[in-house]
Amino acid sequence: MRRVTLTQFLIEQQRAGRTNPDLRLLIEVVARAIKAIAVNVSKGALAGVLGEAGTDNVQGEAQKKLDVIANEILLQANEWGGHLAAMASEEVEEVHQIPFDYPKGGYLLLFDPLDGSSNIDVNISVGTIFSVLRFPEGVKEPNEGCFLQPGSEQVAAGYALYGPSTLLVLTVGNGVHGFTLDREMGSFVYTHPFMTVPVDTQEFAINASNARFWEPPVQRYVTELQEGKTGPRGKDFNMRWVASMVADVHRILTRGGIFMYPMDEKCRDKGGKLRLMYEANPMAMIIEQAGGAATTGRQRILDVQPEKLHQRVPVILGSTSEVERVTRYHLEG
């Protein structure tokens, strides 16, 4: 069987007019950074990378050493190539400017360097999520305003899953494609062409410890799932919750299901739990490109007009019929 690497895949996408040299370079550089993060994640205690860094990020959450390392790897890898105008990271409050000695390019890169990092110390899968936007024309100095584009404007989105194998899942607006890292060769191999969210599902993912804080539509929906064969759905459902969004979303891409971090009374004052620009938007683009749906419960995620770089939103995504049902419950209520 012909082994297609990420590089070959991207060149073929470019020949077909779906990417250009700058976007190709951007994705290749992100993939290279992901390989470096994978090395650190897999070494764990041997490299002394577990545990707290002793600092808080912009969200006031304790940073893990690997949060800081992954962030540095992504920033440094992407500064010099000339393809970016600026970057934004979950771990950095302000826009990260490209240093003066490097040329600037036409794209903006946003990322959550290590999603699910509370799972690092217990050796459970974590991930990296990224989103690519165009740098608006006519703007001289990149600022926060340049980033405040709805998710529908993304030109590419992807994630890396550091699990038993390291996977890179990517969309440039032409379906969702998965690559597995061949550790010996050091290259990503095209292993999952045109991934689609299976339509039929019997699995849901939600942090059920928040049940008493949920809004009535989510209470209603989850209760119906739990009632299984004896309830209105007439079939049993199973529940999974990894608490690494990347791992939960990847499972849904592979075998279907619905993922919810809905609005609840605990996170209402923040607007939700997950971040719009570098968690919800890229995952929503991937899920839609794979034939699924993604809403806040009240609105398509990709239509949300961002107001702040580190804005949070409720997230409901996965198999279309399930997402539509729970969204309908919100709109009816």
Residues that bind ligand AFP (CB under 6 A): 61, 115-118, 207, 243-245, 261, 274
| Residue 207 CB, nearest approach to ligand AFP (Å) | 4
Q: Residues 6 or more apart from 133 whose CB is under 8 A from it?
A: 107, 108, 110, 147, 149, 153, 154, 155
| CA–CA gap between residue 221 and residue 199 (Å, rounded) | 18
Which one-letter amino acid corresponds to residue 302? L
Q: Report the residue number whose CB is nearest to ligand AFP.
A: 245
Query: Which is nearer to ligand AFP, 39 or 267 (by Cβ)?
Result: 267
Identify the helix (H) or strand (E) that includes residue 263. Answer: none
Contact 57, 66 (CB under 8 A): no
Query: Which is nearer to ligand AFP, 125 or 327 (by Cβ)?
Result: 125
| Residue 260 CB, nearest approach to ligand AFP (Å) | 10
| Residue 126 CB, nearest approach to ligand AFP (Å) | 8
| Residue 34 CB, nearest approach to ligand AFP (Å) | 16
User: What is the token pair recorded at 236?
Assistant: 């049993």
Burial environment of residue 285 by CB neighbours within 10 A (0 to 12, 13 to 18, 19 or more): buried
Query: Which is nearer to ligand AFP, 109 or 245 (by Cβ)?
Result: 245
Query: Which is nearer to ligand AFP, 214 or 261 (by Cβ)?
Result: 261
Which one-letter amino acid corresponds to residue 272? G
Contact 176, 167 (CB under 8 A): no
| Residue 317 CB, nearest approach to ligand AFP (Å) | 11
**DSSP result, 84-96:** EEEEEETT-SS-E
Contact 157, 286 (CB under 8 A): yes
Q: Residues 6 or more apart from 302 whose CB is under 8 A from it?
A: 150, 151, 152, 154, 281, 284, 285, 288, 294
Query: Which is nearer to ligand AFP, 51 or 333 (by Cβ)?
Result: 51
**DSSP result, 4-16:** PBHHHHHHHHHHT
**CA distances, 89 to each of 98, 218, 265, 301 (Å):** 13, 30, 27, 19
Query: Which is nearer to ligand AFP, 88 or 146 (by Cβ)?
Result: 88
| Residue 40 CB, nearest approach to ligand AFP (Å) | 16
| Residue 46 CB, nearest approach to ligand AFP (Å) | 22
User: Phi and psi for 117 in degrees, rounded to 5?
Assistant: -65, -15
Query: Which is nearer to ligand AFP, 243 or 331 (by Cβ)?
Result: 243
| Residue 243 CB, nearest approach to ligand AFP (Å) | 4
| CA–CA gap between residue 151 and residue 130 (Å, rounded) | 12
Query: Which is nearer to ligand AFP, 239 or 243 (by Cβ)?
Result: 243
Query: Which is nearer to ligand AFP, 116 or 151 (by Cβ)?
Result: 116
| Residue 309 CB, nearest approach to ligand AFP (Å) | 16
Contact 278, 88 (CB under 8 A): yes
